[in-house]
Amino acid sequence: MDGVNMEPAQKASTHPAVHHISRCSIKPECVSDESNQPFHLNPWDLSLLNIPYIQKGLLFSKPPPSIIDHLKDSLSLTLTHFLPLAGHLVTHKQDNPSPSYSISVEYSNNNNNPGVEFVHAVAADVSVADVLSPSDVHVPPIVQSLFLLDEAISHDGHTLPLLAVQVTELVDGIFIACSFNHVVGDGTSYWNFFNAWAEICRKMMVDGKHVDNISCPPVLTRWFLDDENGHVGPIINLPFSHHDEFIHRYVSTAVLLRERVFHFSPQSIAKLKAKANAECNTNTNTSTISSFQALSALVWRCVTRARRHLPSHQKTSCSLAINNRSRLNPPLSPDYFGNCVQAVSATVTVEELLSHGIGWAAWLLHEAVNEHNDSKVRRWVEGWMVSPSIYKISDFINPCSVMLSSSPRFNMYGCDFGWGKAEAVRSGSANKMDGSVTSYPGRHGVGSVDLEVSLLPESMTALDSDPEFMDAVSLSLSHHHQ
C-alpha cells in the first residue's frame, strides 16, 4: 500500500463528538505504464461539473481490531482497477491556432497524483444506535460529520481528491463514508467501486494476502455518440474560455431541513403496486406499473399534500433518476464506469395530483420511464453536443416538487468487508434539498425499500401524520434491531 503524507488531520470535524485522528493519501498499489492516457469525459460527465460529490456511507457493527490498516491496504489494491479515482481533473485550454477548452480526468504514473484522501476519525461517545436513532426520530445531525468534502462541487476535482474516505470508529461499530466526484461516475459506478473495495478487503482478511482480481472489473472506456460521420469525441471542446463562465456554487440549505428514513416492507410495496394497477385497469396485455413507480407516486402525492401552503393551480413534478446503460442499443455493460444517468419526470397541478388516486400519478411516471428509450437518450446527447450546458444545483431546486435519486437496485448491503453485513446506509449533506428523496434497498429481504426524505420541518411534521403515507410505512421495521 502506497500511503503517503501521513500526518495528523488538520481539519476539525463540524460535530464535537467526531475527532479526526489522522489523514493520508492512498495511491494505487500497482500501475502500468499505459495508465498515463487521459480518461476523456462525455456529455453526461461534463454536465455535472457544478454538482456536489456523491456522499454515501455504510454503518457496521464492531469490526475486528487493526481494521484501519486493512482498509488502507485493500483500498490501494482496489485503485489499481479504478485508476480515475486516484487522478485529478485537468483543463486543457488554448487560444491558437483556434480556441479550445476541454476537461479530462488524468492519472500520470508519478508522484503528482493526489491519490485518495483517507481520514481516520473517532467518535468515542457515539454508538451504532445513536447513528440509527429510533425509528420515529429524524436522522441525527452527527451523520453529516461522518463525511468529507461537504461543500465541494465536482469541478473542484482539479485541486481536491476525486475520492475522499472517512472511516469513523464508534463505541460499538464503524462508519465507512465515501465522497465521490460526480463527474467521475454516477450511483451505479459508486456502488460498483464500493463493492469491489469490500470484496478485496474481505478476501485479504480471509487469505491474508494480496488480491489481484475482482469479480466485476470496471469498464473504464467512456461511451461517445456515433453519428453518420463516425465517432464523436473523445475530446469535447466546451464553449468557454474560463471556468468562471459556468461554475455556480449553491449554498446548501440542508441545515434547515429535516431528514427521516422510512421503511417499506415487500408486502406494503406489493399492496401499493396492486392498488395502482387496479386503479389504471392494467392487465397482462398492457405494460404494468412497477413497484417503484407506485411507491414514487405515493411519495409525490403525500409530500405535495404535506406542503399545505401550495395553491391548487401550482405545478408540481416528480423526477426519477434513470440508468441509461440498459436503455441504449446496444446496451452498455452494468460495469460501465462513468455517468450514464438522466432524470425523467411528470408534471401536473397540485389539484390534479391530489384529486386522482395513486394509480393515476403512477401511470404518468410509468409513461415517462417507458418513453425514455435509445432514441430519446441519443437525441439528448446530440442536442447537448450542439449546445453544451453545465447543470446548476439551482436548476433542481423546486419547493413544489419531489426528486428521487439513488436506487433500491444498488447492491449496498452486499458490501461485506469481512465482518458481516452493514446495519444501515446513510448519506451526507451534499445534494440535499427540500423534496429530495434518496432510495435504498431495505436491509431485510428482497423487495423492501428505505427512503431517506428531506423536507422543511413543517412539511415533515405533516407527512408524519399523513394517514395514506403512514399506512404504507412499516414502522416496526425501521431499524436494525428487528
Closest by CA position to 139, among listed 63, 19, 59: 59
Amino acid sitting at position 472: A
Phi, psi (rounded to 5 degrees) for 194: -60, -40
The answer as to whether 250 is a domain residue is no
Residues 10 and 88 in one domain: yes
Residues 192 and 305 in one domain: no
Residue 479: pLDDT over 70: no
Residues 180 and 62 in one domain: yes
Give me the percent of the chain exceeding a pLDDT of 90: 77
User: Which residue, of 245, 268, 288, is where some domain finishes?
Assistant: 245
Interatomic CA distance for residues 250 and 245, integer angstroms: 15
- pLDDT band per the 50, 70, 90 thresholds, residue 274: very high
The answer as to whether 102 is a domain residue is yes
Residues 238 and 304 in one domain: no
Q: Which residues contact 395 (CB under 8 A, 6 or more apart)?
A: none
Amino acid sitting at position 10: Q
What is the side-by-side order of every strand in the sheet holding 100-106?
Answer: 39-40, 100-106, 88-94
- pLDDT band per the 50, 70, 90 thresholds, residue 4: very low
CB of 149 within 8 A of CB of 160? yes
Residue 134 pLDDT: 65
Range of the domain at 221: 2-245
Q: What is the mean pLDDT of the chain?
A: 90
User: Which residue, of 219, 245, 271, is where some domain finishes?
Assistant: 245
- pLDDT band per the 50, 70, 90 thresholds, residue 32: confident
Q: How many domains does the chain have?
A: 2
- pLDDT band per the 50, 70, 90 thresholds, residue 33: low
Residue 478 pLDDT: 42
Residues 208 and 265 in one domain: no
Amino acid sitting at position 65: P
Give bridge partners of residue 315 from the DSSP assignment: 349
Give the range among 180-189, 328-337, 426-435 with minimum mean pLDDT. 426-435
What average pLDDT does this structure show over 311-340?
97
Q: How many CB atoms lie within 10 A of CB 403?
A: 21
The answer as to whether 110 is a domain residue is yes
Q: Model pTM?
A: 0.93
Stretch (H or E) spanning 455: strand 449-455
The answer as to whether 116 is a domain residue is yes
Residues 61 and 159 in one domain: yes
- pLDDT band per the 50, 70, 90 thresholds, residue 284: low
CA angle 302, 306, 310 (to 5 degrees): 110
Q: How many CB atoms lie within 10 A of CB 433?
A: 19
Residues 213 and 345 in one domain: no
Residue 296: pLDDT over 60: yes
The answer as to whether 265 is a domain residue is yes
Residue 441: pLDDT over 90: yes
The answer as to whether 466 is a domain residue is yes
Stretch (H or E) spanning 454: strand 449-455
Closest by CA position to 185, among listed 160, 220, 215, 216: 220
Residue 255: pLDDT over 80: no
pLDDT per residue over 38-52, tens digit each?
A: 899 999 999 999 999
CATH of residue 322's domain is: 3.30.559.10
What average pLDDT does this structure show over 151-170?
97
Give the range among 201-210, 271-280, 286-295, 310-319 with minimum mean pLDDT. 201-210
Residue 476 pLDDT: 47
Give bridge partners of residue 50 from the DSSP assignment: none
Residue 232 pLDDT: 58
Q: How many CB atoms lie within 10 A of CB 32?
A: 10
- Catalytic positions are 182, 416
The answer as to whether 482 is a domain residue is no
Residue 14 pLDDT: 64
Residue 121 pLDDT: 97
Residue 98 pLDDT: 87
Q: Which of the 8 DSSP states describes residue 224?
A: -
- pLDDT band per the 50, 70, 90 thresholds, residue 433: very high
User: Which residue, of 217, 245, 273, is where some domain finishes?
Assistant: 245
Residue 282 pLDDT: 85
Residues 178 and 88 in one domain: yes
Residues 260 and 203 in one domain: no
Residues 157 and 37 in one domain: yes
Higher-confidence residue of 396 and 427: namely 427
Q: Which residues contact 362 (CB under 8 A, 6 or more apart)?
A: 276, 280, 289, 293, 294, 296, 297
Residues 124 and 270 in one domain: no
Interatomic CA distance for residues 447 and 465, integer angstroms: 25
Work out the angle between the directed axes of helices 358-370 and 266-280 (0-180°, nearest 10).
90
Residue 6: pLDDT over 50: no
pLDDT per residue over 87-123, tens digit each?
A: 999 999 998 888 899 999 998 776 677 899 999 999 9
What average pLDDT does this structure show over 409-435?
94
Q: What burial class does residue 252 get, using C-beta atoms within 10 Å of its C-beta: 0-12 exposed, 13-18 middle, 19+ buried?
A: middle
Residue 229 pLDDT: 52
Find the DSSP H helices in 332-393: 350-355, 358-370, 374-386
Residue 128 pLDDT: 95
- Grid coordinates of 209: 494476502
Residues 271 and 392 in one domain: yes
